[in-house]
Each structure stands twice: as structure tokens, then as C-alpha cells.
Chain A
Amino acid sequence: MPAISRDEVAHLAGLARIEMSPDELDRMAGQLDVILGAVAQVREVAGDDVPATSHPMPLVNVTRPDVPRAGLSAEQALAGAPAQQEQRFRVPRILEED
């Protein structure tokens, strides 16, 4: 039985905001199934007594003095925007008309 079904891949693609064609879903489901089969061994390697490590070095909170300094100008910050209007990012609407 596959570890991951085509429907699950379609659901995940929705969560990840990636549109996928039926062909793409078929291909991706097959490949992900093989990959997940190969990586599943991590479940057997470490027991409950082993703590998880999320980062190679101990992370500590880093702060700096709260001193004002110059940042990017509005023009610089907007330079890479796909669309802009009145010195703001122009984005597609998010609300339905009704």
C-alpha cells in the first residue's frame, strides 16, 4: 500500500498553494511514495530516550540596542513589486464581491 495517495498529494498541494494538473499529481504521488518509503527508516533509528535536536548550535535570543537607523526608501522597497500603486504593493483582492 502506498504511503501517500494521490488525493493526499492534491490536498497537500492545496495547503502549499501550488496548482497541479492531474498528470502532475499522478507523477508526484508516485515519486513521493518512493521517497517516503526510503526516509521512513528514521522512525526506527532513535528511541524515546533520545532528545530531538532542531539546530546545530544552541540558539539564544539576540538583541541589540533600539537605535533608529536608515532603512530602504519606499522606492527601493517597491522596486521588485509585481505591481504597485500610490507607494504601496498592489495585490489581488481577497474578498468576494457579495
Chain B
Amino acid sequence: MSELIRRTAADLSQLLSSGEVSSVEVTQAHLDRIAEVDGGVHAFLHVAGEKALADAAAVDAARAAGEELGPLAGVPIAVKDVMTTQGLPTTAGSKMLEGWIPPYDATVVRKLREARLVTLGKTNMDEFAMGSSTEHSAYGPTRNPWALDRIPGGSGGGSSAALAAFEAPLATGTDTGGSIRQPASVTGTVGVKPTYGAVSRYGLIALASSLDQAGPCARTVLDTALLHEVMAGHDPLDSTSLSGGYPDVVAAARAGATQGIAGMKIGVIRELHGGDGGYQAGVMARFDESLALLTKAGAEIVEVSCPSFTAALAAYYLILPSEASSNLAKFDAMRYGLRVGPAGVEAPSAEQVMAATRAAGFGDEVKRRIILGTYALSSGYYDAYYGSAQKVRTLIQRDFAAAFEQADVLVSPTSPTTAFKLGAKLDDPLSMYLQDVATIPANLAGVPGMSLPSGLADEDGLPAGIQLLAPAQADDRLYRVGAALEALLHEGWGGSILDKAQVLDAKTLEAVR
């Protein structure tokens, strides 16, 4: 195993710019690792080996020619399969789009290409980003590199597993209710949902447009910041793209790691502090230790109350299906993707073809949410369900505003539990939805959030995560506090938490193939 795969993106950036290694070497090392372990982990749906090596060689040539390159030029990245990639298959984890090769790049993907990152391939995900375990992918689940019989979180489980298995140093994700932060939490990696509108949604296959947000995934806070900087920025192709207010997240990450966070106020959210049960004891123990470390870093801990957060999950599971039922109406067998003729009908109408195609192309969770959304938006129920949920959204925004008057950053455990076993919650959608209870409020209000590893739970030795939340357009606070906490945690662990993960050898991998 090449040692290059264990390097952070920041390290690789230095090695590449000093000429100690080439992008081709780094890319090949990761492709070798994917070939070695991905049969067991299944983080990738598509690996673009030849294209990646060609792109890497082009970066090496540009560097040799003295061209000025950005800090991440030549560093490999894995891209969540919900982002359109010109010339590379894009399925959003669904049979509906099997074999589709988009004719254009999402803005995020274009930015990665312009910054000369090397795309290794597309990562597995819950179908159309609906799920918290990556078991709802039409192409089979991804496995958690910490324990291959466990889920890697969702919907971005493929991206997080690729990072934790050292198949890629960086990855992209999208977070509609926690799909970046929860997978980061259960795989011992770092994930950030930026402020709503900070990263363009153009070319992302939409789930719920008022909640979806693309963001960076990596193994350290600094790497996440470096990728965040590449992804963020105004995009005229997205009418909800922010036109300004992009803080310097890389400078904030560096400052946090070196200067601490003296004088900052950290608010513990009472309603997300395990009071109503459901939080695993080991997750809470690591969370409380992190609070002690934040105090050590110079912060003051205060308790804040956000009473409406207890209704956030309910509001989310009305708003999301409503928007999803509308967004997914375009998968109608007419212009792209799957087209299935109904059985036993000689000359079917368009409507019959649509119904048969959507029956064959969508999985159970997608159908469930489309029906739920259709119900919540239907005449007679609209005010009671969708309308009420939108009022809860107002209350949650007010709670955040009040809390941020008392604290600079808010904290909670990211996910109530560590990774559960594959299949454990598949027949119980409600129990699966509870995984996102702490992450959802940020999406409803549009504020940024980060998850970073807080340690291993005593019960099962699996990673737990701590979530940081900041006011809209103050993403830099997440990086400042996250980097300060990470530095102290790494000091205690003697390195990265991923050094404590199981070794993926032939025996462990063979057992699941």
C-alpha cells in the first residue's frame, strides 16, 4: 500500500507543488487502492481510471511548463453521483438514470475541473439522496470501512466511505437533511454543509430545492476548508446563489489550529443534548469530552434552548417529500433515462408508460416520499400539513436567531448513534429518519454546519461525531472552532482517528464479497 493514500490533501498539495511526487503517482496510488478494497467497500459506482490518469498527466505537464496552479491542482477527488459530470455516468443511485451520460457539468464539477483536481469517479448514494444509510442505492449498499457489516451513513455514504477507506483524500457531497454530516459522523471523517446558496446547485439532481446544499468532505478540517474554497462562489446559473459574503474559510481553519478560540461562546443546544433518550451513551460521553476540550481551547460554554427543534423532524418530513414529489416529476420516461412499456398492453399511452416506468425505475423509499409529498400538497390537506410545516420553519429560524445572540457557534452530537448494522432499519422508515434529528434544523433555516470526529464510542468502538452550527454566511466560525477542537483531539489520539480503524485486508474484504 502506497503511503501517499494516507496523506491529507494539504500534504499532497505541498508534495505536488514542490515536485516531490507527480499527480500521476498520487492518482495511480488511489486507483490501486480502489482496485484493492472497493470490491468490499463499494464506495464507487463508476471509476474513471483512464480519464483520471490523463487529467493527472495534464496537470503534471502544466506544472512542468511553469503554469500557475491552484493549491489543490493534481489532488484526486471522488464526486457524489448526484452531480452531473460531462462524459461520465450520472445516476443519482437510481435505476431511473442507469447508463445516462450527461452532456454538461454541474457548476461544482466545472469548478473542480478549473482548479485542476483529478476526478477519480462517482460515489454511491441513497437513490436521489433519500436515506441515511446508502442502503437505498439501486446498485447495492456501501459498507462502512470501520466495520463492513455496518452502514456508512447516507445519503453520501459512498463519499464518506471512500475517504475513510483511503480511496480518495477529498470528496463532494450534498446535504438536504444531514447527508454530508451524518455519514461523516459514522465514518470518522469531516463534512460541511455550507450556508444555503454558498455553493451553486446548478447541475445537481434536485431532491428538495429549498434544503439541498452541496459541500466538501475530507479527513481533516483544513482539507475540508481547501475544498470548500474551490466549490463556493456566486453562480449566475443558480437564481438562489448568494451574491456575496463568502468568508475566508482556509484562513479560519489555519487560525483555529494555531491560535485557539479564546473568548468565543459555544452554545450547547438543550433540545439536542440527549434529554429525550435515543442518544447512545458513548456518543454523549465523547460529546461531553469535546465540550471540555473546547473550554481548554479558550471558549466559554453556555446552554441555549431551541424549543421548536423538537418539531423539526416532522416539518422536514413534510417539506422534503412535497418538494421531492415535484422535482422528481420530470422522471417521466419521455426525454431521458429509463422507458418501460406496461406489461400486456399492445399500444400503451404516454400515461401508462410513465406509470410503468416510474414503478420500475424508483425504489421503495423514493415511491414512499413521492406519495407522501403528493398527499401533503393535495387539496384539503395542504394547510394542515405543508402549511403548518412552513410555519414550524419560521419558528426554527427564530430559535436560531435567538440562540446566535447568546453564542457564536452552537454544538450538538451529529448523529444520535454510531453506525448501525446493514438492514437493521430498512423496514422501519421512521427509525431511519431519526438519524437526522440533529442535522435537519440547519437545512430548514439555511445555516451552515460541520461534523467532525469526537472519538470512539465505548460500546462498539465506532466513531461518533460532534456537530458545529454557525449563523448564515459565518461558515468561517465552523472552521475556526472545528480546527481548534481537532488539534486538541489529535493531540489526545496521537494522530487521526482513522489510524484506529481496522485494516482492510484480504480476509476482511473476502468475507463480504
Which of chain A's residues 1-50 have a Cβ closer than 8 Å to chain B? 4, 8-9, 12-20, 24, 28, 31-32, 34-36, 38-43, 45-46, 50
* Nearest B-chain residue to A91, judged by Cβ: B334
Known A-B contacts A34-B430, A82-B339; the reply to A43 vs B384 at CB < 8 A is yes
**A35 and B317 within 8 A (CB):** yes
- The CA of A94 and the CA of B350, in the complex, are separated in Å by 5
Q: For the complex, give the distance between the alpha carbons of A92 and B349 in Å.
A: 6
Q: Establish whether residues A12 and B314, one from each chain, have CB atoms under 8 Å apart when the complex forms.
A: no
> DSSP majority for the A interface?
loop
A54 touches B371 (CB 8 A): no
Whether B197 is near chain A, meaning CB under 8 Å from some CB there, is yes
Given contacts A17-B355, A80-B102, are A32 and B371 in contact (CB under 8 A)? yes
In the complex, the chain B residue whose C-beta lies closest to that of A63 is B239
Q: A79: which of B101, B433, B472 is its contact (CB, 8 Å)? A: B101
A43 and B387 CA atoms in complex are apart in Å by 9
Given contacts A19-B356, A42-B392, A79-B103, contact A93 B197 (CB under 8 A): no
Contact check, A42 vs B389: say whether CB atoms are below 8 A apart: yes
Given the interface contacts A50-B394, A64-B236, does A42 sit within 8 Å of B311 by beta carbon? yes
Is there an interface contact between B389 and A15, defined as CB atoms closer than 8 Å? no
- Assess the A16–B371 pair: CB atoms within 8 A: yes
For A34, list chain B residues within 8 Å (CB).
Answer: 429-430
Q: Which of A17, A53, A76 contacts B354 (CB 8 A)?
A: A17
- Which size bracket describes the interface of B in this complex? 35 or more
Q: How many A-B residue pairs have CB under 8 A?
A: 171
CB proximity to B under 8 Å, residues A58-80: 59, 62, 64, 72, 76-77, 79-80
Which residues of chain A are within 8 angstroms of B502 by Cβ–Cβ distance?
A: none
B336 touches A82 (CB 8 A): yes
B111 at the A interface (CB under 8 A): no
Name the contact of B445 in the complex, choosing from A15, A43, A56, A64 (C-beta under 8 A). Answer: A56
> Is there an interface contact between A19 and B314, defined as CB atoms closer than 8 Å?
no
Smallest CB separation, A51 vs chain B (Å):
6
Cβ-defined contact, A89 with B334, below 8 A: yes
Chain A residues whose C-beta falls within 8 Å of the C-beta of B429 in the assembled complex: 31, 34-35
> B346-374 toward A: CB 8 Å interface, digit per residue (1/0)?
01111111111011001000011011101
- Report the bound CA distance from A39 to B322 in whole Å: 13
Measured between alpha carbons, how far is A55 from B446 in the docked complex, in Å?
A: 8
A35 contact from B102, B315, B372, B446, Cβ within 8 A: B372
A38 contact from B349, B356, B358, B430, Cβ within 8 A = B430
Asked, given contacts A51-B394, A56-B210, A93-B347, whether A18 binds B388 with beta carbons under 8 Å apart, the answer is no
- Asked if B397 CB lies within 8 Å of chain A CBs, one says yes
In the bound assembly, the distance between CA atoms of A34 and B335 in angstroms comes to 36
Q: Please state if B395 and A45 are interface contacts (CB–CB under 8 Å).
A: yes
List the B side residues contacting A38 at CB < 8 Å.
Answer: 314, 317, 430
**Are B334 and A55 neighbours in the complex by a CB distance under 8 Å?**
no
Q: Would B358 and A53 count as touching, CB distance under 8 A?
A: no
Inter-subunit contact B349/A72 (CB<8 Å): no
For the complex, what is the distance from the CA of A76 to the CA of B104, rounded to whole Å?
9
Q: Chain A residues near B334: list those with CB within 8 A.
A: 82, 89, 91
A56 to B351, CA, bound (A): 35
Chain B residue at smallest Cβ distance from A60: B239
A18 with B371: in contact, given A72-B103, A80-B102 (CB under 8 Å)?
yes
A–B pairs, 9, beta carbons within 8 Å: A16-B370, A16-B374, A18-B359, A31-B368, A56-B472, A80-B335, A82-B336, A83-B339, A92-B348
Q: What are the 5 tightest A-B residue pairs by CB atom distance, in nearest-first order?
A: A56-B446, A52-B390, A46-B391, A80-B336, A82-B339
**A42-B315, A54-B390 known, 17 other contacts, Cβ within 8 Å:** A16-B374, A28-B367, A32-B371, A35-B430, A39-B315, A42-B385, A45-B308, A45-B391, A45-B395, A46-B394, A53-B391, A56-B472, A80-B103, A80-B335, A92-B349, A92-B350, A94-B349
Interface on A for B, CB 8 Å cutoff? 4, 8-9, 12-20, 24, 28, 31-32, 34-36, 38-43, 45-46, 50-57, 59, 62, 64, 72, 76-77, 79-83, 89, 91-94, 96
